[in-house]
Amino acid sequence: MDIQSFIGNFATLFEETDMSILTPQTRYQDLEEWSSLLTISTIMLVDQQYDVAIKADQIRDANTIEELYNIVKEKVIQSEN
């Protein structure tokens, strides 16, 4: 799991946002398209792609895509042990 593939997967959730603006430093909750529906979609994406569960509050607490990636990565590492 690397951050660029995570960003690519995350970008699939957005219909109107140009993928080129999504970087590790992007504050995704500040994007015009971000909504509570995308929070739920992110939970489902992480479950399907990475086989780990995250909670809505963890998504809300992350400020950037990189912070969200680190949360997911840590859960993946924990599930492997």
Q: Tens digit of pLDDT per residue, the chain (81 long)?
A: 899 999 999 999 999 999 999 999 999 999 999 999 999 999 999 999 999 999 999 999 999 999 999 999 999 999 998
Contact status, residue 54 vs residue 46, Cβ threshold 8 Å: yes
Instruction: For residue 25, give Cα distances in angstroms to 35, 68, 71, 81.
Output: 19, 11, 15, 29
Q: Where in the sequence is the domain holding 12, given as residue range(s)?
A: 3-80
The domain total for the chain is 1
CATH number at residue 16: 1.10.1200.10
Count of other CB atoms within 10 angstroms of residue 54: 19
What's the rounded Cα separation, in Å, for the pair 64 and 69?
9
Contact status, residue 59 vs residue 68, Cβ threshold 8 Å: yes
Write down the pTM of the prediction.
Answer: 0.94
